[in-house]
Structure 1
Amino acid sequence: MRHAMRHRKLGRTSSHREALFRNQLQSLVEKEKIVTTLPKAKELRPIAEKVITRGKHGTVHDRRWVLRWVLKRDLVKKVFDEIAPRFTARPGGYLRIVKLGPRLGDGAEMAVLELVERSEAAAAEPVKESQAPKAKAPKTPKPKKEAKEGAKAEEKQAKPKRGEAREAKKVSTKKEGRAQTSAPKKIGS
């Protein structure tokens, strides 16, 4: 019996789960938006909200508490100097979870965990190459059939015929006029 089930185990040990949340929280602070599974997002949200709330207070104790979860000092500075000031008027609810649907590989429910008020730099995501409109290349005239047939004829002439290849192998296995024997060589004498 699991009385007072407070957290999801997520199929991990407690130390692995804590390391997972630390890594995801650092990515969230850095990029202000992460894509993960829905249960992980639901478990990470309360931790991230506490980190931002501590960032609003700004005491030395709060900085050390945040450093427990966000291990990189430059990201701790970002929490206190950039992220927390955006939410001074908001008493909580700094993050939103947007469901994406099932993942193709295993059908896991995916979600986006993002800050409600994102910075302009983070909000203006770069357009991926696949989404960007591609410029059409100038069309070049296709080579005529005669040129293709000429290239095929040259390839055929370059390849040795079957019989010629076999004869070449036989010659290369012989050593200057005497055939190799199948008897093993004596080593050492």
Structure 2
Amino acid sequence: MRHGKKVNHLSRQTGHRKAMLANMACSLIEHKRIITTVAKAKALKQFVEPLVTKSKEDTTHNRRVCFAYLRSKYAVTDLFRDVAAKVGDRPGGYTRIIKMGNRLGDNADMAMIELVDFNELYNGGKKEEKKGRTRRPKKTAAPVATPAAAPVVEEVAPIVEEAAPIVEEVVETPAAEVVETPVAEVETPEVVEEAPAVAEVEETPADEAPEAPATDEESKEEQA
């Protein structure tokens, strides 16, 4: 049975478990968010938040205590310089765990653990509202009512200015006289149509037609 055992050993020995949590805390302080399993994230939350509380008061003793857990002087420097400036006014709850589903290899529950004040997406660039105890306001003596002074009303006589009517004299100017100028008559040259020339062909009568030259045979008969 596992009654009263609140510490998760994470299947590791004491030295191995402390070294692993120290390395994870250094990575969280440096990168402001890391992704791990849900069980390791819950163990890291319990490991790192007391150290962040120590960093609010910058003393040599607190630096040595944080160095004993983190074992890295660079992580201690970032913790007391950057992280402490952001979480100086926060009373607690410095980290946030966001579940991200199961891992493909062994189906382990994965989660992202981050420092709350360094997430601009959730905070919208503003610091989250602090949730602390509300105290009742102290009772204060009721203020003594003083008689209000009567308001002073000043009567201002209205000033009426009678504006003299402005008469504008309109001078009628005669319209410009239009002078009609005669249009110059343009003499168009006369076009003379020339009849086409017809070639005269002399007709020769049929009786006066030239005789055809005699052939060789006819000339021989005439000589005979």
Q: What range is the shorter-chain TM-score in?
A: 0.5 to 0.7
Q: Distance in 2 between matches of 1:3 and 1:103?
A: 30
Kindly name which structure, 1 or 2, has the bigger radius of gyration based on alpha carbons. 2
Q: Distance in 2 between matches of 1:53 and 1:60?
A: 15
Greater helix share, structure number: 1
Question: CA offsets per residue over residues 131-175 of structure 1, 9 Å max, x none?
Answer: xxxxxxxxxxxxxxxxxxxxxxxxxxxxxxxxxxxxxxxxxxxxx
Instruction: State the identity as a percent.
Output: 41
Q: Secondary structure at the match of 1:117?
A: helix
Letter in 2 for 1:45: K
Question: CA offsets per residue over residues 92-113 of structure 1, 9 Å max, x none?
Answer: 0000000000000000000000
Structure 2 matches for 1:15-34, cutoff 5 A? 15-34=15-34
Structure 2 matches for 1:60-139, cutoff 5 A? 60-118=60-118
TM-superposed CA distance for 1:17, in Å, is 0.7
Structure 2 matches for 1:103-182, cutoff 5 A? 103-118=103-118
**Does the 8 A contact of 1:103 with 1:109 survive in 2?**
yes
Runs (5+) with no aligned partner, structure 2? 121-224
TM-superposed CA distance for 1:40, in Å, is 0.3
Runs (5+) with no aligned partner, structure 1? 121-189
Show the counterpart of 1:8: 8
TM-superposed CA distance for 1:85, in Å, is 1.4
Q: Distance in 2 between matches of 1:72 and 1:105?
A: 32
Greater Cα shift, 40-49 or 111-120: 111-120
**Does the 8 A contact of 1:36 with 1:110 survive in 2?**
yes
Letter in 2 for 1:14: T
Letter in 2 for 1:58: D
Q: Secondary structure at the match of 1:101?
A: strand
**Does the 8 A contact of 1:25 with 1:69 survive in 2?**
no
Letter in 1 for 2:46: P
Greater relative contact order, per chain length (Cα 8 Å cut-off, separation 6+): 1
TM-superposed CA distance for 1:71, in Å, is 1.7
Q: Secondary structure at the match of 1:57?
A: coil
Q: Distance in 1 between matches of 2:64 and 2:2?
A: 33
TM-superposed CA distance for 1:42, in Å, is 0.3
TM-superposed CA distance for 1:6, in Å, is 2.1
Q: Secondary structure at the match of 1:6?
A: coil
| TM-score (normalised: structure 1) | 0.61
Letter in 2 for 1:108: A
Show the counterpart of 1:162: none
| TM-score (normalised: structure 2) | 0.51
